[in-house]
Amino acid sequence: MEDVDLRLDGNAIAGLLGEVFALELTGARAACAGCGTIAELGAEPVYAHAPGAVLRCRNCDDVMIVVVHGGGRYWIGLSGTTSIELRNSL
């Protein structure tokens, strides 16, 4: 099996993100720290088969968001995202 088969959409981790964030995140627009591309997080490629979920930029493939859940805690890496624009309702 190749990496391409394991690629999902940001949409696929909506539940995981919903465990942590009060507002719906997959419809939110986020800016990539690497190339500046802004897209809805639900549209970004996600690899969820690792110990955590890794969300990358659809344009430059840089890692934007990492979420690891285990041992009773969440670890969230956001260094690849400069801003996230959330709507306060769907």
Partner 1 sequence: MAGTAVLGRLTWRLAEVVRLVDETPRVRSIAFDVPGWPGHRAGQHVDVRLTAEDGYQAQRSYSIASAPGAETLVLTVERLEDGEVSPYLVDELRPGDRIELRGPVGGYFVWTPEDGSPLLLVAGGSGVVPLMAMLRHRVAVRDGTPVRLLYSSRTLEDVIYGAELERVAAVSDGIEVVHTLTRSQPAGWSGYARRIDDDMLAEVSWPATDQPAVFVCGPTRLVEGVAAALVALSHDPLRIKTERFGPTGG
Which one of 12-20, 60-68, 69-77 is the stretch in contact with partner 1 (CB under 8 A)? 12-20
How far apart CA 42 and CA 8 sit, in angstroms, is 10
Binding positions for partner 1, 35-54, rule CB under 8 A: 39-43
> Is residue 63 at the binding interface for partner 1, with CB under 8 A as the rule?
no
Helix (H) or strand (E) holding 31, with range, is strand 29-32
Other CB atoms within a 10 A radius of the CB of residue 28 amount to 17
Counting contacts by CB under 8 A, is residue 15 touching partner 1? Answer: yes
# residues contacting partner 1 (CB under 8 A): 28
Angle at 25 between CA 84 and CA 58, to 5 degrees: 70
Binding site for partner 1 (CB under 8 A): 1, 4-12, 14-15, 18-19, 22-28, 39-43, 89-90
